[in-house]
Amino acid sequence: MLVSPYTLKIYNASAGSGKTTFLVINYLYVLLNSPYPDEFKRVLALTFTKKASEEMKDRILQCIKEFSNKKIKEEYRFLFDCITKNLSLTKHQLYQRSEKILFSILHDFYSFSRNISTIDKFTYNIIRSFFSEREVNLEMDTDQFLFKIVENILYRLKNSEKWSNILIQSSLEKLRKGKNWDLRKELFKIAHIIVEENNYFPIKKIKNYSLKDFVQLKNILIQRTKIFEKKCKKKGENFFKFLEKTSIRKHSFIHLDLPRFFQKFKNENIFFNPFNERLEKYIQKGIFYSKFFSDDNQKILIEKNKKKILLFYEKTKSIYKKNISNYLLDKLFLKNISMLSIIHEVEKEFHDMKNKKKIILNVELNKILYERIIQGTFPNVYEKIGMQYKHYFIDEFQDISFLQWQNIKILVENALSENGSAMIVGDPKQSIYRWRGGDAKQFIKLINSKSIFYEKKIKTIEQNFRSYEEIVKFNNLLYQSISKTFNSTIYQDIYKNYKQKINKKSGGYVEINFIHDFNKNYKEHIYSNIKNKIKKLLKQKYALSDIAILVRNNKEGNFLSEKLVEDGMIVNTSVSLLIKNNLEIQIIINFFSIIAYPHCYQKRVLLIFLLLEKKFICTKKNNHDFITKILFLPLDLFLKKILFKNSLTLNKLYNKSIYNISEKIIESFGLLNQKNSTYIYSFLDFVYRSMKKVGNSIIDFLDYWELKKEKESIVISDHINALRIMTIHKSKGLQFPVVLIPFTDWNIFSKKKEEVWIDVNPHLYNGLNTIYIEIETYFKHMKHDDNIRNFYEYYLSNIKFDNINLLYVATTRSIEQLILFSRLGNDKSVSFYIKNFLCEKKMWNEKKCKYIFGKEKKNT
């Protein structure tokens, strides 16, 4: 007998719509509607971040605690009355149930806490059940693990004649193309390709492809491209032989377009489109020479051979169009095939090292579980979970990867078939994690598709509970304007239908600043504006902690953080005040370098300059003479000269830990002071952590430092009154009274090269049905190949959507004030879309620098 499908509730919740509150209310409905006080044991709530899960737990507990009091606080009264009404309970009944639920939670807090979890933690807990307690550990530091793999492979490859030949070929190919050849970097890239979830399905198809298969395929591709190039060359040569035979001079042809066309074929210059619109137009009209052309003899010869010329052109065009798509793919794949040929070797080392160390990587959790499911080895675990949980809440669905959803979907469908419930909340406009598997289209597909397992109830939460009126109105208008610029109807509809209702009180302020002319460096000019704006906000009685500065990347954040700290501002930043930028830390690292590499005189010079800059050493002679005199001394004497006030020697560092050596360097140079203490202690913490990872070798420590220095930063408490600087990615889910976006002009189409997998005919690629190619900007000019052009346009559409989503997340964080700074950009910059919006509203003026929506708060 078929079980009747039950309802999956899907909520499209735009920014500021009170999504967390909405989830909490629905969670409370499930608990309070049940006669069992331990119903929370049968509810699983999955969020995307740890912070979101902690916030949800706190809100639920606080509500249950308040409901269990007979005197309910005013702020909880509305929620209490709403639940009472919807569940048809008396106030006394709701109070009693809440009391019993609270008692039950407090007596089994572990179950309550475990069942409100991040998706990653939930997946990890399932996978741990496959292994005994001591059998496997979770490795969070993927880069460090892959770094070790690369070192192992390098050692083995250097001692293998077979693999050395592959590496030599790869390096020669790179050098011929004028590219740097960094084997370590290439191997690290391959290792990342293997572990990244976005590559799971292509890698699954390609990783069992042997070296012999790759070599054979490479030879096939080289041979095939050469055959086509020779055909094209022959066509070009034959055309010019024909001209010579018929005495037609190439200068007789209009604009020389036709001879130039065949010259490209003769030179095998066919990768880029050899056709041009003008030539095609003249060919279609049968025009070969200008009406002003005066050589009648040449006219007669051309007219006499007109059909043959046309035949030459059409046959050449036919051969080209028939083969160009495969030819281009072949050439693009050949760029990567040599390195891909060692993917099996990297994969083998990857698994050997994991088994040896008895670890699994955090990044591969979803893949491991998915493989267990498709192999059918999951029933025991999933049967227990299926029996345990009857209600599911899934937050931030737009950020969930394909594999994550496939792993959870089975449980959701099972719960719905057994009279359980499931609720999914998401917002495709906040999909900003496509690079790690999140895909807004998956959410759209879920909304629009049908299922035999359940029915669907779809609702849009329209109200904005976060922002004041002017900010909501501004965002509504801005993104409806931007929606018109999308070619994809899916992306167009997402923003076209976006219009939030205002729930907050009237007021609010939006300011857009365009920087037209500036004499100073642009970044410095922006900083000056930011500093002045902060001073103005402080006069308006905002606290520093009320102000958030959102940036596109860490580089921008580092620049602003360091400048603000220099100017005496207290800054709390997740984009980090990188400890590598601190001069005292640079001194310590350089000191380690000269110990590890005593004959690296460049490091000695750098250390001397750093010490002179901070006046830790001073010389009676000029600096050049001082450096010349001591530079080439034995290391112990060199140290004595730069440490003339201290008796630190190599003997005193012998057999000491890296941590102890760090302390000795800090003490000897007197590096620690009140201003830099946070940097120094953060560095010592890094040293302590690194020793657990790489041991007590100074060389290994320096390698580890190079790997990690771009991420290591000082940490400041959240509980102090400080400016907040963070990336837009980090700001997601947060809100602030005032938001400043200093560089609202990032490039939508990144200059960074990306690699993608593209499906191909396996008969043409020796059994492979997917190949790995680099996205190149010149793809947009390949109008002669529909496949690559369409593929590139699809790629650009996704990139544009990602960046508009970033802008959306940034502009929807503010409660009271939103202030943007930007320079004018072309249609590749987000500022172009803001300008376009102002033009639509007939507000744009080339001479105007500031655009205001609402009224600015007065100074007090």
**pLDDT over threshold 80, residue 574:** no
Nearest to 573 by CA among 742, 712, 727, 739: 727
Neighbours of 366 (CB within 10 A): 24
Which residues sit opposite 424 in a β-bridge?
10, 394
The distance from CA 433 to its chain's CA centroid, rounded to whole angstroms, is 6
Mean pLDDT of 186-194: 87
% of residues, the chain, pLDDT over 70: 91
* Of residues 358 and 104, more confidently modeled: 104
**DSSP string computed for 708-732:** HTTT-B----TTS--EEEEEHHHHT
Q: Which two tokens stand for residue 8?
A: 């999956």
Q: Mean pLDDT highest for which of 317-321, 349-353, 545-549, 597-601?
A: 545-549
Are the folds of 6-131+362-461 and 481-576+719-747+815-854 the same? yes
What CATH number has the domain spanning 6-131+362-461? 3.40.50.300
Q: Which residues of 731-752 are buried (b: 16+ CB within 10 A; e: fewer)?
A: bbbebbbbbbbbbbbbebeeee
Task: Please report which confidence band the pLDDT of residue 154 belongs to, taking 50, 70 and 90 as the band edges.
Answer: confident
Cα(79)–Cα(63) distance, rounded to whole angstroms? 9
More confident residue, 700 or 160: 700
On the question of pLDDT at 350 being above 60, the answer is yes
Average pLDDT score over residue span 143-167 = 75
The pLDDT value given to residue 58: 93
Q: What is the mean pLDDT of the chain?
A: 86
Q: What local confidence, expressed as pLDDT, does residue 161 receive?
A: 63
pLDDT band at 631, cuts 50/70/90?
confident
Is the pLDDT at 734 greater than 50? The verdict is yes
More confident call, 793 vs 532: 532
Q: Please report how the helices 306-340 and 161-176 are oriented relative to each other, as an axis angle in degrees rounded to 10.
A: 130
Give the C-alpha separation, 118 to 54, whole Å.
9
CB–CB of 755/749 below 8 Å? no
Contact between residue 717 and residue 707 where contact means Cβ atoms under 8 Å apart: no
Encode 612-634 in three state secondary structure.
Answer: HHCCCCCCCCCHHHHHHHHCCCC
Res 401: pLDDT: 92
Report the alpha-carbon angle 90-20-87, nearest 5: 20
- Whether the pLDDT of residue 507 is over 70: the answer is yes
Six token digits for residue 299? 């006219």
- Where residue 795 falls among pLDDT bands split at 50, 70, 90? confident
Residue 38 has pLDDT above 60, yes or no: yes
Residue 4's pLDDT band (cuts 50, 70, 90)? very low
User: What was the pLDDT predicted at 645?
Assistant: 57
Instruction: State the pLDDT confidence band at 636, using cuts at 50, 70 and 90.
Output: confident
Q: What is the mean pLDDT of residues 807-827?
A: 93
What local confidence, expressed as pLDDT, does residue 140 receive?
80
Tokens of 296: 């009648």
**Tokens 């400890």 map to which residue?**
579
CA-to-CA dists, residue 212 to 159, 216, 341, angstroms: 19, 6, 9
**Stretch 431-439: mean pLDDT:** 83
**Can you tell me the distance from the alpha carbon of 286 to that of 764, in angstroms, rounded to the nearest whole number?**
38
Stretch 257-271: mean pLDDT, rounded? 92
Q: Give every CB contact of residue 6 below 8 A, 6+ residues apart in sequence.
A: 416, 417, 419, 420, 421, 454, 455
Lowest mean pLDDT among 314-328, 607-621, 691-705: 607-621
What is the pLDDT confidence band of residue 800, given thresholds at 50, 70 and 90?
A: very high
The HSE-up count of residue 423 (CA atoms within 13 Å, CB side) is 22
Question: Of 98, 107, 89, whose CA–CA distance to 70 is shortest?
Answer: 98
Mean pLDDT computed over 242-267: 92
Contact between residue 509 and residue 817 where contact means Cβ atoms under 8 Å apart: yes
CA distances from 804 to 343, 398, 509 (A): 35, 15, 21
Q: What CA–CA distance (Å, rounded) separates 102 from 124?
A: 28
Give the separation between CA 803 and CA 793, rounded to whole angstroms: 15
Q: Which residues contact 353 (CB under 8 A, 6 or more apart)?
A: 145, 148, 149, 152
**Alpha carbons within 13 A on the beta-carbon side of 797:** 16
- Whether 680 contacts 589, CB under 8 Å: no
Bridge partners of residue 138, in order along the sequence: 360
**Cβ-proximal residues to 315 (8 Å cutoff; 6+ apart), any chain:** 235
- The four Cα atoms 817, 823, 828, 830 give a dihedral, to 10 degrees, of 0
- Is the pLDDT at 720 greater than 80? The verdict is no
- Identify the three-state secondary structure at position 421: strand
CATH pick for 481-576+719-747+815-854 out of 1.20.120, 3.40.50, 1.10.10, 1.10.3470 = 3.40.50
pLDDT beyond 90 at 272? no
pLDDT at 802: 93
SS (H, E, C) 465-521: CCCCHHHHHHHHHHHHHHHCCCCCHHHHHHHHCCCCEECCCCCCEEEEEEECCCCCC
Answer whether 132's CB lies under 8 Å from 67's CB: no
CB-CB contact of 817 with 737 (8 Å): yes
H-state helical runs in 540-657: 554-566, 583-596, 601-613, 623-630, 635-642, 650-653
pLDDT value of position 741: 98
pLDDT tens for each residue of 363-382: 999 998 898 887 766 557 77
More confident of the two residues 423 and 627: 423
**Which is higher by pLDDT, 514 or 678?**
514
Which of 179-183, 242-246, 749-753, 821-825 shows the lowest mean pLDDT across its residues?
Answer: 179-183
For residue range 225-235, list pLDDT tens digits in order. 999 999 999 99
Instruction: Summarize the confidence of residues 305-310 as an average pLDDT.
Output: 93
Pairing between β-strand 755-759 and β-strand 454-461 as defined by DSSP bridges: unpaired
Spatial CA neighbour of 530 closest among 558, 556, 564, 566: 564
Do 46 and 389 touch, CB atoms closer than 8 A? no
Q: What percent of the chain has pLDDT over 90?
A: 39
Confidence of residue 851 (pLDDT cuts 50, 70, 90): very high
Band of residue 619 on the pLDDT scale cut at 50, 70, 90: low
- Which of 158, 186, 189, 192 has the alpha carbon at shortest distance from 174? 186
Whole-angstrom Cα distance, residue 725 to residue 730? 10
Q: Which two tokens stand for residue 843?
A: 């507000």
What's the first-to-final CA gap in the chain, in angstroms?
73
Q: CA 283 → CA 277, 314, 317, 536, 801, distances in Å?
A: 10, 10, 12, 67, 40
- What are the residue ranges spanned by the domains of the chain? 6-131+362-461, 137-357, 481-576+719-747+815-854, 579-708
Q: Beta partners for 361?
A: 139
Instruction: Taking residues 796-812, report their average pLDDT.
Output: 94
Contact 581, 558 (CB under 8 A): yes
Question: At 179, is the pLDDT very low, low, confident or very high (cuts 50, 70, 90)?
Answer: low
